[in-house]
Amino acid sequence: MQSTIKTTATTRPMLWTGRILTALAALFLLFDGVTHVMQIAPVAEAMTQLGYPANAALTIGIIQLICLLLYLVPSTSLLGAVLLTAYLGGAVTTNLRIGAPLFSNILFPVYVGLFIWGGLYLRDERLRALFPLRK
């Protein structure tokens, strides 16, 4: 038996809202990833404060930028969103482990994740078919 799920077509306002959410998340992740790859002094200090060796910033930055690239390519955007969610989950755990403030530090990766998934949901009918909203 085959099931068909009706989804709403992507309207122009949905598409642009999704693109804006995606752009905001992507710009933040790009900036963050590049600063990790460049291994600037504030990143090295933050890595040490978080309990990681400063030289781990390069590896973390490369992983982040690869996940971001996958997210930005339409054919791999769903995989990229899943991988970025895992990446951001590690950030939540790291901040929780050191006792960082809840709303500003611990939940910030969750906010970025909401932008990632919200943007993708609004601009991709395939995702809305997987998770339809009921009226």
pLDDT tens profile 101-129? 998 899 999 999 999 999 999 999 989 99
pLDDT in tens, 58-80: 999 999 999 999 999 999 999 99
What integer pLDDT is reported at residue 50 of this predicted model?
92
Contact 114, 67 (CB under 8 A): no
Tell whether the model's pLDDT for residue 133 goes beyond 90.
no
Write the DSSP string, the chain: -----------HHHHHHHHHHHHHHHHHHHHHHHHHHHT-HHHHHHHHHTTS-TTHHHHHHHHHHHHHHHHHSGGGHHHHHHHHHHHHHHHHHHHHHTT--IIIIISHHHHHHHHHHHHHHHH-HHHHHHSPPP-
Question: What is d(CA 95, CA 91) in angstroms, rounded to the nearest whole number?
Answer: 6
